[in-house]
């Protein structure tokens, strides 16, 4: 064996903690711990929407005010992701990950016992802060556990908690809240989080942060070739998704299936699970092609909703295609960003978190304006315009951002 091979093997073992003999094996216990962290994060974010009437009655406030518990969470993530990631670049990764995860145990416990809307609102803001930090860590953490040719698959497994939470976790949490009380649901999430802390401590490897003085400036990372196209595509894609997803209930009214919104969302969730499985299998070989296919499928679903959105069967089929396209999108964008940013992945991912939350908030705002100004018939066409822009930028970003697999 040459000295170059020896040095490379040593670097893989020491720097990435990937044993040379196991370079084709995925560290599943560690990756599944990250997936569980993503699952708890999504549940914490979205459960108030499913428990809206129960929480409003218990806290003696309007349902509209309970809805702001979701808004304040997004604001916490939006404000915290970039500055916290920048400040903690030199920290060791596992202690930082444990801080972010442990925060959910605290804020969900406070939410479970609080009788004050104000205290609950503050707890939700800090839940968003911890979420912003955690989302900035997950993709880069998963990528560091494996060699280059497995990075995409590792990120796909770590992100699998997101569609599982959306398709199964939130309906289950809503059911438990209705059966046993919403406070029990938040209490159970705290217990799950404590178990996860033990799991991470036992199975997730630690990594050093950036050496002091060797961190990456935000402007430097933002101007790396390929970063801005990825962030732009993420912004318009997620904005398109949230315009439609946030207002799916009023969109279904003219079709006559508003009372079957649970079935519509189930179709979306199951298709999303299939989408993330497909992405996980192919992402390390066909990332660019998958981004193009995902965006095209979503655009075709929007086109169908615009043309035959008054036919229930067409709506169900379009929602299935939309879910299939969206399921692996987070994995695709985060993998593209991790591969493009390299050692600056955590800083780049903090920008991704910020862009994602802007798109979530923007979806509610833009969708509301469209609803009040033009009615739901404008949704598919607005979504289509955004997705065409995403396709155009992806097509141009062939050298950097979404490079050809060849």
Q: Token match 């649970």: residue?
A: 262
pTM above 0.95, yes or no: no
pLDDT tens by residue, 44-94: 988 887 787 788 889 988 877 887 787 788 889 888 888 998 888 888 999
CA nearest neighbour of 204 among 20, 34, 36: 34
Query: In the predicted model, what is the mean pLDDT of residues 108-136?
Result: 93
Domains of the chain: 25-203 (1.20.1250.20), 218-396 (1.20.1250.20)
**Encoded tokens for 366:** 């833009």
Q: CA-CA distance, 317 to 64, in Å (whole number)?
A: 32
What phi and psi values does residue 209 have, to the nearest 5 degrees?
A: -80, -175
Contacts of 146 (CB under 8 A, 6+ apart): 16, 18, 26, 27, 153, 154
Query: Which string of DSSP letters, residue by residue, matches 354-369?
Result: HHHHHHHHHHHHHHHH
> For position 3, what pLDDT does the model report?
37
> For position 258, what pLDDT does the model report?
81
The yes-or-no verdict on residue 245 having pLDDT over 90 is: no
> For position 13, what pLDDT does the model report?
38
CA nearest neighbour of 233 among 359, 133, 327, 132: 359
> For position 404, what pLDDT does the model report?
79
Provide the pLDDT confidence category of residue 214 given band limits of 50, 70 and 90: low
Q: Token match 């479970």: residue?
A: 112
> For position 19, what pLDDT does the model report?
42
The yes-or-no verdict on residue 41 having pLDDT over 90 is: yes
Please say whether the beta carbons of 330 and 42 come within 8 A.
no
> For position 16, what pLDDT does the model report?
43
CA nearest neighbour of 341 among 236, 210, 235: 210
pLDDT tens by residue, 192-204: 999 999 999 999 9
- Alpha helices by DSSP H, listed for 181-260, are 182-203, 218-222, 227-246, 248-252
pLDDT tens by residue, 128-167: 999 999 988 888 899 889 988 888 889 889 988 887 887 7
């Amino acid at each position: 064996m040459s000295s170059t091979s020896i040095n490379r093997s040593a670097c893989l073992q020491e720097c990435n903690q990937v044993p040379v003999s196991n370079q084709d094996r995925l560290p599943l216990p560690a990756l599944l711990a990250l997936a569980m962290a993503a699952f708890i994060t999504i549940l914490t974010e979205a459960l108030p929407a499913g428990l809206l009437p129960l929480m409003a009655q218990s806290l003696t406030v309007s349902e509209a005010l309970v809805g702001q518990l979701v808004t304040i969470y997004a604001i916490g993530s939006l404000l915290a992701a970039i500055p916290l990631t920048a400040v903690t670049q030199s920290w060791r990764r596992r202690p930082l990950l444990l801080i972010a995860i442990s925060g959910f145990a605290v804020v969900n416990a406070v939410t479970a016992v609080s009788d004050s809307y104000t205290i609950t609102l503050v707890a939700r803001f800090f839940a968003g802060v911890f979420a912003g930090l955690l989302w900035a860590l997950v993709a880069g953490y998963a990528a560091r556990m494996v060699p280059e040719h497995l990075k995409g698959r590792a990120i796909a497994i770590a992100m699998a908690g997101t569609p599982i939470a959306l398709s199964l976790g939130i309906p289950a949490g809503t059911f438990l809240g209705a059966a046993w009380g919403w406070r029990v649901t938040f209490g159970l999430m705290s217990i799950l989080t404590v178990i996860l802390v033990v799991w991470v401590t036992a199975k997730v490897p630690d990594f050093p942060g950036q050496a002091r003085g060797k961190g990456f400036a935000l402007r430097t990372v933002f101007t790396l070739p390929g970063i801005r196209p990825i962030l732009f595509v993420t912004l318009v894609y997620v904005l398109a998704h949230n315009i439609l997803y946030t207002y799916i209930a009023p969109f279904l009214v003219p079709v006559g299936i508003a009372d079957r919104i649970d079935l519509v969302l189930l179709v979306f969730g199951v298709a999303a699970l299939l989408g993330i499985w497909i992405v996980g299998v192919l992402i390390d070989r066909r990332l660019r092609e998958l981004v193009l296919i995902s965006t095209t499928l979503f655009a075709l679903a929007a086109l169908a909703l615009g043309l035959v959105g008054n036919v229930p069967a067409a709506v169900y089929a379009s929602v299935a295609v939309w879910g299939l396209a969206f399921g692996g999108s987070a994995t695709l964008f985060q993998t593209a960003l991790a591969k493009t940013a390299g050692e600056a992945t955590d800083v780049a991912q903090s920008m991704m978190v910020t862009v994602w939350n802007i798109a979530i908030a923007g979806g509610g705002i833009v969708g509301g304006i469209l609803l009040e100004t033009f009615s739901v018939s404008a949704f598919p066409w607005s979504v289509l315009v955004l997705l065409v822009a995403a396709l155009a930028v992806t097509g141009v970003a062939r050298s950097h951002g979404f490079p050809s697999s060849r």
